[in-house]
Amino acid sequence: MNVDYSTKIPNNVNLSEDRQVLKALEGWHPGYMDWWGDMGPEGFQQSLVYLRTAYSVDPRGWAKFDYVKMPEYRWGILLAPQEENRVIPFGENYGKPAWQEVPGEHRATLRRLIVIQGDTEPASVEQQRHLGKTAPSLYDLRNLFQVNVEEGRHLWAMVYLLQKYFGRDGREEADDLLRRRSGDADSPRMLGAFNEATPDWLSFFMFTYFTDRDGKMQLHSLAQSGFDPLSRTCRFMLTEEAHHMFVGETGISRVVQRTCEAMKAAGITDPTDVAKVRALGVIDLPTIQKKLNLHYSLSLDLFGSEVSTNAANAFNAGIKGRYKETQIDDDHQLKNATYPVLKLVDGVIKRVDEPALTALNMRLRDDYTQDCVKGMLRWNKVISTAGYQYKLTLPNVAFHRQIGEFKDVHATPDGVLIDDATWNQRKGEWLPSSQDGDFIASLMKPVTEAGQYASWISPPKVGIDNKPGDFEYVKIET
């Protein structure tokens, strides 16, 4: 399963023998490069960056590291190895051979899922395009660019599926993926969280921790798909996605650690004394909590409504499964099963048993929340080890929601329902205010000397590819 680098588009899907698809992708390539030039990382297109590039899909060794200019990065089409005699692992077609071609009756549903997944990939590049100018270190700058080029590769992965399996419709959808823009009033990206601004590095770390983790859950669900090319595509994408969440988790850890170190050195005993902590040039823990509240609640909206017939139909059809479907001990058809869903009943938040089939979004969201908690345990360990009684926590699922059961109500992070007036009066306690944004922005000064870090973040424990602390991860053109 090594990658063929002899064509313009590196791949392990025999593109050189699939002339029609190769031609379509080569026709799409100039538009992609124009998009990357316009919407990719601003100001660093000619810099040499120490990036990893996939050259195989063998889990033991699939990437090599070297300096490359981002426009010259080899974006390729990589599918995980085909499993022999793979069967559809869930739904009404449970146990039947996995599809190698698109089943006609499920064509529209499959295409929509692929387009939505594809649309998120360039969106996050667009959201992050200005961040290079305020990077806290060359190490972080390189991590940003690694995330960006891999989101670009994930876009290629979805475009390949559209071009190969969906004919003219697929080609039109592939063109539209380059036409939409994050936050654009006339042609926005398809999902709300991908139209939000990413104004600073704390937002970037929160995004890669919370929003990319939603991506992980969606990719896991699609990796179960009865449509085998989609399953194989998502399985390899998950290999790359792990690094994006690592960037978020360790980034927030390093921010928290630096704050705790600075408070300790200054003899500050109350971590909620925001003014005193900010005077040290670090980000106070209450502001980190507010950013967490924002990004977690935006990411919950990405799962859609708690009860969804679309999710049920995709499951029944064998198109989109559950998180780690094959490891679940049940009939994989959910004929009579129920699942508890949080709902608003007579003004009170209650758990209500719903048919498990229509509650699939809720189940995936619950899996997501459990996954989010793991990293938070590590952040809180940093705080408690420093001797502070402060805990970062996930807000209640009813807090700050735009989609689903709680979109028409206001709730505190503790899940207490409140009226509009109370919300408007107190939301600045729970979500970042413009003053919080201004303070964080004031810290965002670029640090471009190898081995040096901004005042508000600690160095990482280990370098990328085991490089030493003063390694020049990005050679910035001067």
The verdict on residue 6 lying in a domain is no
The verdict on residue 2 lying in a domain is no
The verdict on residue 3 lying in a domain is no
CATH number at residue 66: 1.10.620.20
User: Across residues 41-59, what is the average pLDDT?
Assistant: 92
User: Residue 478: its pLDDT value, please?
Assistant: 64
User: Across residues 20-37, what is the average pLDDT?
Assistant: 96
CB-CB contact of 57 with 43 (8 Å): no
How far apart (Å, rounded) are the C-alpha atoms in residues 462 and 469? 8
List, for residues 275-326, the tens digit of each pLDDT value. Answer: 999 999 999 999 999 999 999 999 999 999 999 999 999 999 999 999 999 9
Closest CA to 331 of 90, 86, 88: 90
CB-CB contact of 155 with 122 (8 Å): yes
List, for residues 317-374, the tens digit of each pLDDT value. Answer: 999 999 999 999 999 999 999 999 999 999 899 999 999 999 999 999 999 999 999 9
The verdict on residue 9 lying in a domain is no
The verdict on residue 10 lying in a domain is no
User: Across residues 435-440, what is the average pLDDT?
Assistant: 98
The verdict on residue 217 lying in a domain is yes
User: Across residues 394-407, what is the average pLDDT?
Assistant: 97
Query: Nearest 5°: phi and psi at 20?
Result: -65, -45
CB-CB contact of 317 with 104 (8 Å): no
Report the domain count for the chain: 1
CB-CB contact of 318 with 226 (8 Å): yes
The verdict on residue 4 lying in a domain is no
Closest CA to 29 of 73, 94, 83: 73
Both tokens of 471, joined, read 């390694």
User: Residue 55: its pLDDT value, please?
Assistant: 84
DSSP secondary structure of 94-132:
TTSBPBSS--GGGHHHHHHHHHHHHHHHHHHHHHTTTGG
pTM over 0.85: yes
Which residue's structure tokens are 């001067």?
Answer: 478
pLDDT band per the 50, 70, 90 thresholds, residue 1: low
Write down the mean pLDDT value for the chain.
Answer: 96
The verdict on residue 8 lying in a domain is no
Closest CA to 113 of 79, 158, 167: 158
- Could you list the residue range(s) of the whole structural domain that residue 169 is in? 15-475
Q: At what angle do helices 360-385 and 309-317 cross, to 10 degrees?
A: 100
pLDDT band per the 50, 70, 90 thresholds, residue 2: confident
